[in-house]
């Protein structure tokens, strides 16, 4: 698996992590949306919340790995034809917002669980609490966590819409740089 970017494409490691992050984020959201539809007291409802926690903490771990790989991969492949400066700045701001979302939202979830005083289990291992039990703090953190999660729908949607607009309207290589395998050609 190539982790270095070329002049025209991201390395396969970054491409794989990008699409794995999308899958994980979709699964995180699906857990909470399905939980709201499941009958109260059902086994399905009970199992979706811990799965949401597990997937959310997995997002945090994977984004840290992704940032490390991105740092090692070198400069991002150029967009051809080049973007106007305002679009380039907007794209950089959007990526910064997405990374902040992928780091801060899981940490807020972790803090919320810690403040609830509940054990946090990740792949069978107990994860340490970040703060002591505090019901009022837990409720505040949960509100912020949920607000960021809602904002995440818009960030992810805008990111996808921009990639499609670049591909189909502007006809540049923005999307092709991140497509796996033969789809990039």
Contacts of residue 30, defined as CB under 8 A and 6 or more positions apart, other chains included, come to none
Name the residue with tokens 């400066």. 85
Q: Which domains, and CATH codes, for the chain?
A: 12-184 (1.20.950)
Return d(Cα 101, Cα 151) in angstroms, integer.
Answer: 9
Name the residue with tokens 């270095």. 4
pLDDT digits (tens, 9 = 90+) for 17-71: 999 999 999 999 999 999 999 999 999 999 999 999 999 999 999 999 999 999 9
Return d(Cα 138, Cα 116) in angstroms, integer.
Answer: 6
Q: How many CB atoms lie within 10 A of CB 31?
A: 19
> What SS3 state is found at 130?
coil
Strand ranges, E, within 79-152: 120-122, 125-127
Where is 69: in which H helix or E strand? Answer: helix 43-73
Return d(Cα 10, Cα 36) in angstroms, integer.
Answer: 38
pLDDT digits (tens, 9 = 90+) for 141-176: 999 999 999 999 999 999 999 999 999 999 999 999
DSSP at 138: H
pTM: 0.92
DSSP at 147: H
Q: Among residues 155, 147, 179, 153, which one has the least CA distance to residue 166?
A: 179
């Amino acid at each position: 698996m190539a982790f270095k970017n070329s002049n025209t494409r991201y390395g396969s490691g970054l491409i794989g992590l990008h699409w794995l992050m999308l899958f994980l984020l979709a699964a995180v959201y699906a857990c909470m949306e399905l939980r709201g539809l499941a009958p109260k007291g059902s086994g399905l409802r009970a199992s979706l919340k811990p799965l949401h926690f597990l997937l959310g903490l997995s997002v945090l771990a994977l984004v840290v790995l992704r940032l490390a790989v991105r740092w090692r991969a070198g400069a991002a492949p150029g967009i051809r034809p080049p973007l106007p400066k305002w679009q380039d700045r907007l794209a950089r701001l959007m990526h910064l917002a997405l990374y902040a979302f992928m780091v801060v939202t899981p940490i807020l979830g972790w803090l919320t669980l810690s403040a609830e005083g509940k054990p946090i289990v990740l792949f069978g291992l107990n994860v340490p609490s970040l703060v002591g039990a505090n019901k009022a703090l837990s409720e505040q953190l949960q509100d912020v966590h949920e607000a960021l999660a809602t904002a995440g729908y818009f960030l992810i949607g805008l990111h996808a819409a921009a990639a499609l607009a670049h591909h189909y309207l502007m006809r540049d290589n923005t999307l092709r740089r991140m497509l796996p395998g033969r789809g990039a050609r």
